[in-house]
Each structure stands twice: as C-alpha cells, then as structure tokens.
Amino acid sequence: MGLPLLGETFQFFSPYTSMDISPFIRDRVNRYGPVFKTSLVGRPVVVSTDPELNNFVFQQEGRLFQSWYPDTFTEIFGRQNVGSMHGFMYKYLKNLVLKLFGTESLKETLLHEVEVSAWRNLNSWSQHSIVEMKEATATMIFDLTAKKLISYDSSSSSQNLRESFVAFILGLISYPINIPGTAYHKCLQGRKKAMEMLKSLLAERRNNSSSRQCGDFFDFVINEMKKERTVLTEAIALDLMFVLLFASFETTSLALTLAVKFLTDHPRALEELKDEHDTILRNRENRNSGITWKEYKSMNFTFQVINETVRLANIVPGIFRKALKDIQVNGYTIPAGWGVMVCPPAVHLNPEIYKNPLAFNPWRWKDKPEQCGGTKSFMAFGGGMRFCVGTDFTKLQMAVFLHCLVTKYRWRAIKGGNIVRTPGLGFPDGYHIQLISRE
C-alpha cells in the first residue's frame, strides 16, 4: 500500500515512454496477480486487470458499484460533473448530451460539418511547410465543437478559451499538489478561467433570451433550466458544458495524431485505407459531393484502423468505481467505500487476448463485433451503462478526417512522434508532418 497518506501515488504517476502496460501495473501484476490493492492520492484502491472482474464492475453499476473518481478529479471537473452523477440524474444528463451527439444529429448535421471543417483545415495546413499534428487537430476539433456547444468563434472572440483548456490538460493527470508553479495548480487555474467565461456567457444568454432562438447546445440547456420543476441547476449546467468542451477534443486529437503516425509507419495499412476511400470517390456520380451516411457506414477498414489505434493508444489509463458494500471476489473482499480502478491497457495489451499485442494490426478487427461497442476485451470507450456517450461522434470525426486526408493528400513525417505516459498519453515533442497534395 506504499507510504502513509502518499501511498504509491508517485510510482503511479512516474512517466514512461512505451506503448506497453505501465511498469507500475506490470510489476504489481507479476508480483500479486491480476487484481491487487494499492493506495493512490490518499485513498485505498483495488486495481483490476482481469477482464471478467472488469465486466462485472461495469455491469453492477448502481447496485454494487458506482462511478467514482478521486477528490482531485472532482476538484478539476467540478462537483456537479456528469461523471459524479448517479441513477436518474446521470441518465437525464446522458439523454441531454445525446441531443447533440446522437445518431440523428450525426446524420443530419455533424457528418457534413465535420467534413467541411476537415477540408478547410487540411487546405490551410497544406499551405505551410510543416504542421504539428496534435496541436493542429486539437484546434480543429475544439473550434468545431465549441461552435456547436456555445457558438464560440476563436477568430472573433476577445478571450482565448482553448488556452484555458491547454493549461487544464497539462495538469489533469499529474500529482495533486496545489502550489503555484505545479501542473496541478495550473490545471485548476485553467478551469477557473474557462468557468468564468462560461458563467459570463450564461448570464449574457439569460439577459438576451427573448431575442435568441435555440441556436446551439447551450441555448438548449438553458431552455431546459427554465422548465417547471427542472432538475437542471446552474452549477450542473456549467460543469456539463465544461466537461463536454474538454472531452470533445482532447482525446480525439490524441487518437487522430497516433492514427496518422501508425499509418506513416505502416505503408501496407495506409495503402489499404487509400484504396477504400478512393473506391468511395470512384463510385460517386459527383466526385466532389459530400460524404453520405451510407458511404460513412461502408468504411470498414477505416473502423478497423480506428479500433486498433484506440486499443494501442489507451488514452484513458484507468476507469474508477467505488464499492457500495463489501463485495466478495475470488475469495477476497473489496471493502465498502474502497475505490476500484479498471485498467483497460492491461486488457488491450494482454497477449492471451490479442496476438502480438504491441503490433499495429488493423486486420485483427476484420468481422469482429467489437467494432460496435464495449466488450470484456475492448473497453477503449468504457463499458456498461456508462459507455462513452461521445463514442459515435469520435469515430465519425476520425473516419471523416482520414477520408479527407488520404483522398487528397500525402504526407511525410518531419520530426517528433515520440510518446510519453504519465500515465496519460502525450507527445512531448509533438508530431510534425508536411502535407503535400496528391494531384
């Protein structure tokens, strides 16, 4: 369990530079087995790398376990954030978010808007001799989602909203010492600035409500707040907007950057991806018409590339729950009140589940049902009733971007591409490429 109070927190946050399971997890699994106990940021935690136990934890949401994150995460995301909600309130907020990211919205508006954004940004990047993929894709996705959520336009706003989120991200998975100069302190300051802007926007919208139509997601949320007997408070609404702004761009930009790196390093996969998308263009009556929903759903190899990328990326190093009562598991007891950390990387990189698990092999997903959602062996987007509500939006953004990229451009890596995990994924020196038109 490590040292008093500190536990094994420093070991957990120790950086490493491989795609493999963290040394912290691997060493303890070798010593204690697939389920072990530790102490992180002052809390006793059971860590599970066992697919059966992970699935059991997800399926028993609300009965034996409930969503839980350490107090430091709650400070960062807000005490009223959707991840801390349970039961009816969680389902209510999930349904609100599906108004924006559900299948109907993806078909009717987001497919077209994501494609337009991808073409515009790729054209802009191709004018430069070098582009840093992580920063460029994060800006592209943030601008699109911030516009959908709060009608934010970085080119005309006096405040740089994304700057606050960059500071927030740097300290999100860091040791929680709130002292000026630390990453965690900068993270909290980034949250403070972003929340001040959201509060100001909320006040402005309320004052001008009579002259506004329901134009973006914030308007929709504000209308929900006005309803009689509403359960949606100002604090919940603001924390919801904050979490959506963060979640909608950071993880997707990391996955896209890694996908481009994998494709660069694996020419055979890149060629098959090009063939799939060139075929889509050849089968169109008008080559320049936009992507249709039918075309999007036909991108089978693209979804294999996406699944393999997020399997290896393991952007989320742990998914946390809390035991609601004493729970018996394989002869051991998980005490009531203890945290449980489900560890997706240990499942995704398990050689008994995936042959040569560190190899980028999109073909391993051919004809696999895991493409549709979470399973015992694939939990890149979570599992159970808390399966990530933005999964379909993430896959759509990645697929559409890759379509636009490979049908019109080729590229070469210039520098960077090294990763570091702390334990979250990062590109310390970026990933710089040069875009060149295929024509």
pLDDT tens per residue, range 35-51: 999 998 788 999 999 99
Mean pLDDT for 128-157 is 89
Mean pLDDT for 248-273 is 94
pLDDT band at 270 (very low <50, low <70, confident <90, very high): very high
Label residues 154-169 b or e (16+ Cβ within 10 Å = b). eeeeeeebbebbebbb
Please tell me the least confidently modeled range out of 294-303, 308-317, 380-389, 394-403.
380-389
Mean pLDDT for 236-252 is 84
3-state DSSP percent of the chain in helix, strand and coil, to 5? 55, 15, 35
Contact 97, 389 (CB under 8 A): yes
Computed over every residue of the chain, the mean pLDDT equals: 88
Mean pLDDT for 172-192 is 78
Check whether 388 is labelled as a binding-site residue: yes
pLDDT band at 373 (very low <50, low <70, confident <90, very high): low
Residues 218-239: tens digit of each pLDDT:
888 888 888 888 888 888 888 8
Helices (H), 102-216: 103-105, 111-125, 133-150, 161-170, 183-207
The answer, yes or no, to whether residue 253 has pLDDT greater than 90, is yes
CB atoms within 10 A of CB 131: 22
The answer, yes or no, to whether residue 370 has pLDDT greater than 70, is no
* DSSP one-letter code for 2: -
What count of residues does the chain have? 439
Residues 105-140: tens digit of each pLDDT:
999 999 999 999 999 999 999 999 999 999 999 999
pLDDT band at 150 (very low <50, low <70, confident <90, very high): confident
The beta-strand segments (E) located in 317-390 are 319-323, 327-329, 332-334, 339-342
The answer, yes or no, to whether residue 212 has pLDDT greater than 60, is no
CATH for 9-421 is 1.10.630.10
Q: How high is the pLDDT of residue 159? A: 65
SS3 assignment, position 334:
strand
What are the extents of the domains in the chain? 9-421
What pTM was estimated for this model as a whole? 0.91
SS3 assignment, position 218:
helix
Q: Is beta strand 43-48 parallel, antiparallel or unpaired with respect to 409-416?
A: unpaired
First to last CA, the chain: 60
Residues 60-113: tens digit of each pLDDT:
988 999 888 766 677 777 766 666 667 778 788 888 888 888 899 999 999 999
